[in-house]
Amino acid sequence: MNPNEAELHYPLGDTVPAPGATLDVAPGVRWLRMRLPFALDHINLWLLRDRQDGVEGWTIIDCGITDDTTRAAWEQVFAERLDGLPVLRVIVTHMHPDHIGLSHWLTEKWKCRLWISATDFSAARVASHSTTGFGGERSAAFFASHGLTDPDALAKVRARSNYYAGMVPRVPDSYRRLMDGMTLDIGGHAWRCIAGYGHAPEHIALHAPNLHGAPSAPSAPAPGATQGPLRDPGGAPELGAARRSGLLISGDMLLPRISTNVSVYDLEPESDPLALFLTSLKRFDSLAADTLVLPSHGKPFTGLHARTRQLHEHHAERLAEVMAACAAQPCHAAEMLPVLFKRKLDLHQTTFAMGESIAHLHALWHAGKLLRRAGDDGVWRFSAA
């Protein structure tokens, strides 16, 4: 959890939409939440009022996983929250199951296109047909080569061979490609694509500089009154409204409470995702300080520059701890778990933490600060260069 969360501001307070309901966060922008069967128990999805080829409707941002609960919540949204209009397209920020899971069902149901980066489209199609990257034999062997010896943990990784395909059984056959710097016209508003790396292959965040969030609490409508369309106050700095400077649908690249997962996977065993992630964060530096950030997990917040600084500091501290440990004696990734994660990890968390641990070692290795050598036991150990 973010120890400096108090530096961020939540303009909507603690109000969150119930499953199947929506909350208007800006003119034509509706927030919905779907349940997830994990410790991270929800995902935020967004509905943007749109018009395509003269047809009025909605653009969906992200989908939820494939299960009956999520489908039922979507059916309720379709019946009650689309003002009788159709879905015109489905935009997916990245290939992780909670984001792309139901894209096949949504695009078939509404006969519309999936929009996503080419890299994540391809990665999702591969992952939905294999066990690559998220579990199975190769993942277990990869973690073992980084020092994970606990037989229960390795058995858990092997057993997770259907992890991705279970939540993403299919990906649409065709798509429309999103690329960094592209500007999409969504309902007459310009949304610019900002690519980000290190969390997913090619994550796309969306920035609307000319769309503004709801007035800041306490002038925000009471929870019971938030279901109706929100009137745009027209930019007047009245009613205690915060200065409003654009919206950012940040996906998983910027989350207010948890640090984004940055992991090395067996598919790309020498990768340096932490450097990619930290470099990608710089792309948000040019956005207005009071941009309303709409994250995939947690609540809409302002303070994106504080948040990116917190993330840089968080990882700099973790890297310093890893460096100090490896300078004392050669270490493998499993030995870094108690250094990086102060809390006790259960078996499930351990397997995910391994990817993060390797990511920190690789950042220092690629930067030339650590050397890596495989021991006679086949385990990679890292020592000061």
Contacts with Zn ion, residue ranges (CB under 5 A): 96, 252
Distance from chain centroid for Cα 294 = 11
- The residue number with the shortest CB distance to Zn ion is 96
Closer CB to Zn ion, 120 or 252, in the complex: 252
Closer CB to Zn ion, 314 or 372, in the complex: 314
Bridge-based pairing of strands 247-251 and 292-295 is: parallel
Q: How far is the CB of 352 from Zn ion (least distance, A)?
A: 12
At position 348, the amino acid (one-letter code) is H
Q: How far is the CB of 154 from Zn ion (least distance, A)?
A: 24
Tokens of residue 372, six digits: 């890596």
How do the residues of the chain divide into helix, strand and coil, expressed in percent and rounded to 5?
A: 35, 20, 45
Contacts of 116 (CB under 8 A, 6+ apart): 91, 92, 94, 95, 100, 103, 124, 175, 176, 177, 178, 204
Closer CB to Zn ion, 102 or 326, in the complex: 102
Closer CB to Zn ion, 96 or 318, in the complex: 96
Closer CB to Zn ion, 252 or 335, in the complex: 252
Q: Are 50 and 58 in contact (CB under 8 A)?
A: yes
* Preceding amide of 218 cis, omega within 30: yes
Q: How far is the CB of 35 from Zn ion (least distance, A)?
A: 16
Closer CB to Zn ion, 194 or 334, in the complex: 194
C-alpha distances out from residue 318 to 154, 302, 364, Å? 25, 25, 11
Contacts of 225 (CB under 8 A, 6+ apart): none
Q: How far is the CB of 120 from Zn ion (least distance, A)?
A: 10
Closer CB to Zn ion, 253 or 354, in the complex: 253
The β-bridge partners of 193 are 206
Q: How far is the CB of 366 from Zn ion (least distance, A)?
A: 22
Report the alpha-carbon distance of residue 278 to residue 319 in Å, rounded.
12
The β-bridge partners of 384 are 370
Tokens of residue 371, six digits: 């050397």
Report the alpha-carbon distance of residue 116 to residue 174 in Å, rounded.
10
Closer CB to Zn ion, 117 or 226, in the complex: 117
Report the alpha-carbon distance of residue 383 to residue 368 in Å, rounded.
11
H helix intervals, the chain:
68-80, 97-100, 103-110, 118-128, 137-144, 151-159, 163-167, 273-281, 304-328, 337-340, 347-366
Closer CB to Zn ion, 12 or 200, in the complex: 200
Contacts of 346 (CB under 8 A, 6+ apart): none
Closer CB to Zn ion, 96 or 362, in the complex: 96
Q: How far is the CB of 286 from Zn ion (least distance, A)?
A: 23
SS3 173: coil
